[in-house]
Chain A
Amino acid sequence: MIQVDANPDLLPQFQPVRAIDFGFQDEYVLEVATNSQYAIASASDQLIRLYDLSTLQLATTLKSQEKTINKIKVYNDQYLLSASADGTLIRWDLRTAQPVQTFRHDKPITAFDVNCNDTMVVMGTGDFDLYGCPDILFYDTRQTQLLSRFEESHNDDVTEIKCHPHLPSHLITSSADGLVNYYDVTDFDEQEALISVVNAESAVQKAGFFGPDCEYVYSLTGNETFLLHTLEGDLICNYGDVRQLDSSIGYAIDCSYDMETQRFYLITGNIEGDVQLLHVNVGHVQHCQTLKAPGGHSDIVRAFHWSHRTQSILTGGEDGRMCAWQANL
């Protein structure tokens, strides 16, 4: 049984700073990210908007990809990478707002990451109904050249790719097939690269490393279940359906790990646009705070970014809004 209680003093109070309404009620904000200069939102209109972080005014708009942008990530403060269903992964230089590198493939790109020393980009594909088993592609970033391709590792769309924060040839991939695979691709041999596998037993929507040495993995599934494993594949805790943890929880958004305090959080939401910040321990979940305010969200929140160092949070939702929240340090 998972113990659930409240701990309202664990975190400083987050207040809404500003809500940015795209004015298109029909668009969804799907992904949010930040660097030192901008708050960045990717919406269902295939536009990536950069907002000045201090004024939250629109600075510029990036447009290049023809179909849904599935993922965006900021790399090294300078670059933004965006992956699209049109088969491209574009690296944008945020200082000039120009694309500086494009990786092209013939299938929709549903997940990607760049390794810790920017020597390799890993991409995962989707649309299983049309293309069958997905590809995991490894590209050399210096030459924009394909290094290798894995074709047997998943039986459904790739939903996440996360490269290890310190080991350049280690990564995890998660899929709608229910698995989270952990690889060492030093030799790019698909038969030998698999170190361990987590079977979450339901389509994995989100997965990632956490822990002081990145020794743990979390998985969030399409059944709204939440599981923690060691990187070797041992189950640490199965929290079951997150909706059972509290009646205010409608679904899981993602997880967030604070390196400095070594605290691990589960972020959840509901149909009203509320976002819950839950502190997670083994067998124990503590509700710390709910982000809910006039000028907040009125529909489900899909995108979430928490900068622990500056205690600022960005959220994006199906109401077409991006909200910035700030707590006193």
Chain B
Amino acid sequence: MSKVSAAAVRDIVNQIVAASNEKQRKFTETIELQIGLKNYDPQRDKRFSGTIKLPNVPRPNLSVCVLGDAFHCDQAKAAGMEFQSVEDLKKLNKNKKLIKKLAKKYDAFLASEALIKQIPRLLGPGLHKVGKFPTAVSHADPLSAKADEIRATIKFQLKKVLCLGVAVGHVKMTEDQLTANIMLAINFLVSLLKKNWQNVKSLYLKSTMGKPHRLF
């Protein structure tokens, strides 16, 4: 049984968005869910780390580059997406500086299924160090949908302090979208905790510049 109601989430979401709209900012504030844990010992309890796929894209500005075979390069071009072909990657000649430049230029990569096996040979560990090894995409997956899937997938991991922060949306999203994301994130994360709600000390929601609002 969830300890948090969608109504309570909606209420706070509205407060956060209203507060954000009061001030003109040069950027769109992110909304973050902060989970404080209890009865959890990071020295010996099971590692708490993984990814959540949210129903509504929380980070629309994440730049994605397609490392594509001929089919996907054409598709990327038509969709206005950035891409690199096998030939483009071969031209890098495994030069560490150039690969590092490519790795830094984009937030994430997609790679055609046929191409992804060549990545280690073409680029070595160049994308590994920055945590941007590509996600595979097949000819059956529409490219822009797959890119949005990446933009909707958030990594979560517990740090030394027993608090976990997860980006769940931004202030320009609708109340429905934010509520759906937040409810899913809470229920999914709690389901992965050994003692579920007994491991949760507190839940807060806040926008980048706003004050934290307690949910639980």
Contacts and interface: CB of A to CB of B under 8 A. Distances in A.
A181 interface: yes
B160 interface: yes
Contact of B194 (A235, A243, A300): A300
A32 interface: no
- Give the contact-size bracket for chain A: 35 or more
A222 B120 contact: no
Nearest to B99: A191
A28 interface: yes
Among A176, A201, A302, chain B packs the most CB atoms within 10 A around the CB of A201
B44 A44 contact: yes
B24 interface: no
B192 A224 contact: yes
A177 B131 contact: yes
A50 interface: no
B50 A129 contact: no
Interface stretch (A56-64, A72-80, A149-157): A149-157
Interface stretch (A4-12, A192-200, A210-218, A275-283): A192-200
B214 interface: no
Contacts of A28: 44
Interface stretch (B82-90, B121-129, B178-186): B121-129
A154 B128 contact: yes
Contacts of A223: 50-51, 192
A271 interface: yes
A244 B119 CA distance: 33
A258 interface: no
Contacts of A68: 43-44
A116 B74 CA distance: 47
Interface string A265-280: 0000001000000000
B117 A191 contact: no
A271 B194 contact: yes
A21 interface: no
Contacts of B157: 156, 176, 203
B36 interface: no
Nearest to B52: A223
A152 B43 contact: no
B48 interface: yes
A39 interface: no
A114 interface: no
B51 A197 contact: no
Given A68-B43, A194-B120, A222-B47, 20 more contacts: A28-B44, A153-B125, A153-B128, A156-B157, A176-B157, A179-B133, A190-B124, A190-B125, A191-B94, A191-B96, A194-B121, A194-B124, A197-B120, A222-B48, A223-B51, A224-B192, A271-B194, A271-B195, A300-B46, A300-B194
- A-B pairs, top 5 by smallest CB distance, nearest first, are A222-B50, A155-B131, A194-B120, A203-B49, A223-B50
